[in-house]
């Protein structure tokens, strides 16, 4: 299913559940509007064979993180709320992705086109100009070749960096050992921010449903996410040692200072669940602002790179020509 269709289905499911219809019945009512009859029949057979609601969403193509959230919602019972939150997050991610594509497609496409022109010029036209440049300034030949090779260096460097990042991310997903890359500060910061968001989302719902903090953390230890599992285990250990929840989170080393401050405020006023919910909303808003800012910066940077390449190519060719005319 398309991300927009996934978000729309979750919103409609939330409304239907609030009207008193069970989650499974609501799914049967709404899926014919999004799936073919064959797939709807397969989904019904899945539930007839004893499949859980989360398995149905896995069949519909939702990510493993969403499936885990729905599985947790089957425990704390706040299915309508988790559908609304997940639908909102899906829309935010989709809109940010589309915005990045719209903003960067033109400069990136232009950069690739210019790189192709530089390669063609270097292969077919530079040999024609070489004797003239050598006559005007022999040392300029090397400079010209370097300038017309710059796009290749940029693209190769970007490709190598992308492969390295994909390899690291892939290794983090395949390897269950979440401590493998925590020695790197940037990865540790990313893991802590992600862990804080996941914990605040799930824990707030468990607490509002009547679970204690310890019971909630023990349940999270069975989560498929290694990050959430490791952070819950570490926090529960310090919590059982007699520390407050905020202190246990600090000692675990798995959470950001911002989340710990929210929890401390919640402990003072007795509204930890509410503070965790506010932190989740704050995290999504912050992510949206950061991505929007990064996209806004990247576009002019790419245009500056293009301008620098064009000016460098022009000067590398024309300056030797001017020197030749002055002889």
DSSP labels, 125-185: IHHHHHHHHHHH-TTHHHHHHHHTTHHHHHHHHHHHHHHHHHHHHHHHHH-S-TTTTTTSH
Question: What pLDDT is recorded for position 153?
Answer: 74
**Contact status, residue 108 vs residue 302, Cβ threshold 8 Å:** yes
Contacts of 282 (CB under 8 A, 6+ apart): 258, 262
User: Is 326's pLDDT higher than 60?
Assistant: no
The angle formed by the CA atoms of residues 9, 11 and 15, to the nearest 5 degrees, is: 115
For 131, other C-beta atoms within 10 Å of its C-beta total 10
Band the pLDDT of 142: cuts 50, 70, 90.
Answer: confident
Cα separation, 144 vs 314, in Å, equals 10
Task: Tell me the average pLDDT of the chain.
Answer: 77
Band the pLDDT of 210: cuts 50, 70, 90.
Answer: low
Tell me what the mean pLDDT of segment 108-125 comes to: 77
User: Is 137's pLDDT higher than 80?
Assistant: no
User: Is 50's pLDDT higher than 60?
Assistant: yes
- DSSP assignment letter at 21: -
Q: Which residue has the higher pLDDT, 4 or 313?
A: 4
Question: What pLDDT is recorded for position 169?
Answer: 61
Question: What pLDDT is recorded for position 172?
Answer: 54
- DSSP assignment letter at 253: T
Question: What pLDDT is recorded for position 184?
Answer: 67
Question: What pLDDT is recorded for position 32?
Answer: 84
User: Is 176's pLDDT higher than 50?
Assistant: no
Q: What is the pTM of this model?
A: 0.64
């Amino acid at each position: 299913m398309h991300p927009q269709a996934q978000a729309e289905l979750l919103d409609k499911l939330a409304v239907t559940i609030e009207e008193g219809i069970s989650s499974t019945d609501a799914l049967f009512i709404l899926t014919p509007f999004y799936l073919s009859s064959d797939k709807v029949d397969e989904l019904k057979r899945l539930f007839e064979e004893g499949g859980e609601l989360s398995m149905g969403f896995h069949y519909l193509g939702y990510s493993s993180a969403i499936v885990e959230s729905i599985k947790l919602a089957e425990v704390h019972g706040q299915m309508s709320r988790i559908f609304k939150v997940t639908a909102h997050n899906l829309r935010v991610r989709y809109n940010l992705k589309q915005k990045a594509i719209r903003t960067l497609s033109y400069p990136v496409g232009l950069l690739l086109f210019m790189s192709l022109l530089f390669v063609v010029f270097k292969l077919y036209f530079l040999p024609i100009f070489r004797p003239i440049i050598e006559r005007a300034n022999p040392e300029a030949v090397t400079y010209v070749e370097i300038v017309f090779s710059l796009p290749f260096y940029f693209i190769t460097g970007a490709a190598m960096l992308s492969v390295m990042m994909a390899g690291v991310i892939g290794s983090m997903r395949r390897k269950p050992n979440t401590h493998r890359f925590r020695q790197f500060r940037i990865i540790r910061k990313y893991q802590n921010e992600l862990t804080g968001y996941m914990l605040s989302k799930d824990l707030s719902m468990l607490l509002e449903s009547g679970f204690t903090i310890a019971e909630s953390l023990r349940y999270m230890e069975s989560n498929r996410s290694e990050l959430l599992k490791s952070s819950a285990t570490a926090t529960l250990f310090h919590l059982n040692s007699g520390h407050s929840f905020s202190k246990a989170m600090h000692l675990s080393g798995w959470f950001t200072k911002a989340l710990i401050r929210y929890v401390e405020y919640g402990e003072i006023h007795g509204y930890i669940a509410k503070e965790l919910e506010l932190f989740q909303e704050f995290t999504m808003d912050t992510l949206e602002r950061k991505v929007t800012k990064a996209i806004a910066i990247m576009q002019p940077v790419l245009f500056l790179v293009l301008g620098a390449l064009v000016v460098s190519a022009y000067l590398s060719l024309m300056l030797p020509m001017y020197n030749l005319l002055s002889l």
